[in-house]
Structure 1
């Protein structure tokens, strides 16, 4: 069942739609989704920067392996529920986590008067 906002991807002999127009519409949807993903990632990193500042202020370690493990399990379940490959979702989250930790380490170095370059 398709929603009124998603294109009908059925094909068959009676399919007389213009494939170039359909391709353009699908690509426009992809571009819109990419824009939303970037906006969401930017917001997520704004939040994690604040976490990094808090951790640095109170001399907390940049990484939290127990939370990371819980987050990975949570994201895998969300991915599965959304019919997205959980392995892909985990790889994606691991990449984000490694960037967050890198940022937290840089914030901690800056707090201690060390250059982050």
Structure 2
């Protein structure tokens, strides 16, 4: 339980059982949503890792500011449509983008340079 969640007891005694049951139901839903968010982020990062390898193989920069700007605008619009604070959505996406760029930089640093790559030999 975080500091912001209501305690199981209020100032006058025990919480009504129906309230406790509703809290439990809602918290279960929150836990399920949190699990889904984590799994969706994991899938997203699998895709961005592939992008990082593709960029490294073709010597493309880890960051793509124009793509990032389009994604932020798109996510702000989606957030507004979903009645979510667009500023919050933008902060979240900026955090994710920063992590993706960090991964792409690491991948690029580990990628072989043209001098490290053995010359291809024709198959006979």
Normalising by structure 1, what TM-score? 0.81
Instruction: Give the aligned partner of residue 54 of structure 1.
Output: 54
- Aligned to 2:60, the other structure's residue is in SS state coil
Instruction: Give the aligned partner of residue 28 of structure 1.
Output: 28
Provide the rounded CA distance (Å) in 1 between the counterparts of 2:18 and 2:34. 24
Instruction: Give the aligned partner of residue 82 of structure 1.
Output: 82
Provide the rounded CA distance (Å) in 2 between the counterparts of 1:106 and 1:100. 10
Instruction: Please give the per-residue CA displacement for 1:19-52, whole angstroms capped at 9, x wherever unaligned.
Output: 0000000000000000000000000000000000
Instruction: Give the aligned partner of residue 111 of structure 2.
Output: 111
Deviation of residue 112 (structure 1)?
4.1
Provide the rounded CA distance (Å) in 2 between the counterparts of 1:102 and 1:20. 43
Which ranges in structure 1 are unaligned for 5 or more consecutive residues?
1-15
Provide the rounded CA distance (Å) in 2 between the counterparts of 1:97 and 1:112. 24
Higher Cα Rg, which structure: 2
Provide the rounded CA distance (Å) in 2 between the counterparts of 1:17 and 1:75. 40
Deviation of residue 17 (structure 1)?
7.1
What RMSD in Å do the two structures reach over aligned CA positions? 1.3
Instruction: Give the aligned partner of residue 70 of structure 1.
Output: 70
Which ranges in structure 2 are unaligned for 5 or more consecutive residues?
1-15, 114-124
Matched residues, number: 98
